[in-house]
Amino acid sequence: MDGIIGIVLAGGMSSRFGSPKALAKLQGKLYYELACEAMSAIAERIVIVSRPEFRSQLQGNADVIEDDPDFAGCGPLAGIYSVMERYPAQLYAVLPCDMPYLTGDVLEALAASYKGEDVLAVSFAGKDHPLVGLYASTMMEPIQTALKQERYAVMKLLQTVNTRFVKGEEILPDQEQGMWTFKNINVPLE
């Protein structure tokens, strides 16, 4: 088994955004590239989960895969499961591509806060961010079960396992910076 595997979720429909978020740019870099840069601070290997039509446009040092065919298009849990199924590890760091301001130092602080939970995720300013977190390999079976039962809500699944939310304010003391760091971008910035 490898060390931490980084999972960059880059296959969403981006319906509010109007175009694929993974391929949007911020300061000359694509969102998925920014997510991979942040993830490289803690992950030995990075895997991007995307849709077939975007796959050829995602380049770099990360592996690019699609959802397991049994669960294709079933949301973030399908992406997480698909990586767990193909890349054995003890721990998986998860990050959506639509948080381009999140940096490696935040992920390092999150990893330093991990105490063996099934899931350690972030909460900032009263909002939970279940897709900014660390997922133990023990989550593979509960995720698979949820997917088979067509229960795709991440938060509902996290309520059934040993989940802890670390306050974003604790791992990023600058409140103003945090408002952007933990923000899902739903409209083009450039």
Determine the Cα–Cα distance for residues 26 and 8; give it in Å rounded to an integer: 17
Handedness of CA 154, 160, 161, 163 (dihedral sign): positive
Contact 110, 122 (CB under 8 A): yes
Query: pLDDT tens digits, the chain, 190 residues: what are they?
Result: 358 999 999 876 554 544 566 667 778 888 888 999 999 999 999 999 987 777 777 777 788 889 999 999 899 999 999 999 999 999 999 999 888 889 999 999 999 999 999 999 999 888 999 999 999 999 999 999 999 999 999 999 999 999 999 998 888 866 666 667 887 765 555 5
Per-residue model confidence (pLDDT) at position 26: 77
Contact 11, 98 (CB under 8 A): no
H or E element: which one contains 157?
helix 154-158
In this structure, what token pair is assigned to residue 126?
A: 């009263």
Per-residue model confidence (pLDDT) at position 20: 64
pTM above 0.75, yes or no: yes
Place of tokens 């803690």: 42
Contacts within 8 Å (CB) and 24+ apart, 129-133: 129/168, 129/182, 130/154, 130/155, 130/158, 131/9, 131/76, 131/94, 131/95, 131/96, 132/94, 132/95, 132/96, 132/99, 132/102, 132/182, 133/93, 133/94
